[in-house]
Structures are given as C-alpha cells and as structure tokens.
Amino acid sequence: MNITLSERYAKLIGEGDRKTSISNELINQKEILFHHLSIDVFIKDFFKHKFSDIEPTREVDEHVIAQIMFDSLVSMYYSTVKLFSKMGLNVIVDTAIENDKWFNECLDVFFDQPTLFIGIICSKEELIRREQIRGDRKIGLAASQFNTVYSIDEYDLKVNIEKMNPIECAEKTLSFIKSNKEYLAFKKLSKRNVCVS
C-alpha cells in the first residue's frame, strides 16, 4: 500500500503543510511498518551525492537547472515509490504535486497500485503564517502554490491540520487503513490538460 502525503495526495499521498510531521507519527507507531520517501530529501540527496565535488566552469541559473533536472527527478522519485510498492512495502509518499504534468505522471505511475489519497487541509492564511515561522521555505511559496495544490477535491480521507495535531492525523489515517475500506479516490481522478510553452 502506498500512503501518499503530498500536500494533498496519499500513497499515503497527502498534500498540505505538516506532511512530514504526520509522516513521522506514522513511522513512529508500531502497528504497521511504513517507509517514508520525501521528494525534498530525494532531490537534495541526488544533488548532494552527484554534484558536491563538481566545480562548474560557468554559473547556471537555478531556473535552468530546474528545467533540466526536476521533471526527470520527479519521474525517478515516482518510479522509486512504485518499486517499493511492488516489493510489498508500505510507502509514505511525502510530496507536493506542483503542476499538471507531475499530477498526470503520478496518476500514470500509481493507477494500478493500492493508493490511499489523503487531503491535508489548511487555510491559505495559516499556511502563509506557518511558512514565515518555519524559516526554511522561500517566502511566498505557500501562497503561489495554494490554488494548484488545493485544486483537487477527491480524497479517500481528509485531515484538517488547523483542528488536528499530527498525532491525531496519524491516528485517523491508521483507523482508515484498519477499516479495510477500499481506496477509490485516486482511481476517480482524471488527467489534467498540460499546457506546453
């Protein structure tokens, strides 16, 4: 089973703020073993291990790097999650699906996998407040991604992080898993049109 915590998705895919905090609570419980795969850690580890000793002969703008690398790294990340799932592992997918291309790829890769899709719900105002407190995010990212991240309304389970702490969210998730309800949300989602510019 995949539990995707992507600000709104659950393999356990879940989307929204606090994905990692909820993921940690799920990992710390002893009833069900989960493996946590964070897109942020996946990408940071790639760059840390592949580029740490390289001295470029010219500067490359970060937007150019993103255009060249990110779609491929996201594809590799999704494929890694699918491999873990095929190996019978319960995977927490800690990601944000930031654009329609990534959303469609996520649907393609996971359509035949048991995927619990969790919406981690939070108001825009609260996300902005938390972003400023955290200090480890680019200010304005929460507001700029909000409409894209929260454009999905089909979930197997929703948790509201303004009303529930990470422990309560994890407990609600575990209760849903143990209920043996079928995971249908991911199967009901359809692809989005992708604008190529």
Q: Given pLDDT bands bounded at 50, 70 and 90, which one contains residue 123?
A: confident
pLDDT in tens, 73-104: 999 999 999 999 889 899 998 887 777 888 88
Question: Residues in the chain, how many?
Answer: 197
Q: Which residues pair with 37 in a beta bridge?
A: 93
Residue 60: exposure state from Cβ atoms within 10 A (0-12, 13-18, ≥19): exposed
Half-sphere exposure of 150 (CA within 13 A, CB side): 16
Q: Where are the domains of the chain?
A: 2-188
Class of domain 2-188: alpha beta
Which pair of tokens denotes residue 142? 């929460």
- From the CB of residue 84, how many other CB atoms can be counted at a distance below 10 Å? 18
Tokens of 36: 């946590």
